[in-house]
Structure 1
């Protein structure tokens, strides 16, 4: 059995054909308890926390097989709100909520909301899109980086959705997709270039803030075929060219 750590993913080869992909995320001090710093309904804190882990796994090409939630609070009523939020996000992602398992804290009183999520997926090696850029490509961002109060609790067309990720995964013109986290688009782009062994050249004039936090993976970057960039821009919303991957 071979185990690799790439970006925020753990990749475990379980046989000649299959790989387990693991990602996690946590959220603390965001919710409706007295000690929370950022007051939002607990349901939404849970939704966006599980979204990060889901996005990491499905962008790799893997199918989710298990979601675990570690709720660092009592079941009634914080835990129930967390589970409800997770199930809502699983429904949006088209994932059966029977994959969900978890635990709560019943021994001690807590004053701040704490949530830990682990997403586990499986993919065949030929469908894995991690370090999968084999030729020069254009890096684009899709969706806009948003964080905190900028994030709408209802449908927001500026935030990338699961249907878009699915379409990107199915396109032979998209070599690799990476969710943007708190370190921003520029950081994820630099890591993508380095991990794939390419030299990176950023576009001179950028239409998106490449250093802004992507919050709960509200946008992604993708390495796409140089010759198909016009089709990518036409077929998807909120697409910005970030830079170019060139051979060393």
Structure 2
């Protein structure tokens, strides 16, 4: 069962889709193919425009079509021309995810000089291509509840608190808390936990799957502890805090 999207989540999802469609991210987190150009210097705006056009054409054009010709308009007195086309498209798989790869012929000319930046390029989990800057490494969290330090949870407590966390993430609105206690779970030391979801947003590279922040405030004999982690669902509605979750 997918998480109920809040109004703010829908706005964020819309912004995410627009961003992927236009690819107007001004400064990619990692270098792009435009940053490898040495025969000319493109402004950040020119790089964005070049990468945006390349992104749209990579997604929609067939192999071996007439080459695309892009230029910067020579606004600063230096005409930069980029000619590119695609071939040999195919599917590949890594990390249990399918990706499209294409041979990109990419030639830059400026001031009587030319530069060949051709390579094979593949799509990424975010929906971008690696020529636009590679996706950041995924965040790796420790096993759920392994970072609880103010109490020693027995197996019954762990199973019950995990169930409460899953139900909180799936059922509660952002900012609305759910209470949990270990009463009757075989531990004489009382423990109370307040679970609160927030930050509902679309999973990067996905139009329907959801991620949320889960904040747990634990109150026990040894004091209080606050833990926050981001949790995402897979295509079947499972959450990555669940033991049988399979990453895709």
TM normalised by structure 2 equals 0.24
- Larger helix fraction of residues: 1
- Structure 1 or 2, whichever has the larger Rg, is 2
Normalising to structure 1: TM-score of the pair? 0.24
Q: Whose relative contact order is higher, 1 or 2, with alpha carbons under 8 Å and at least 6 apart?
A: 1
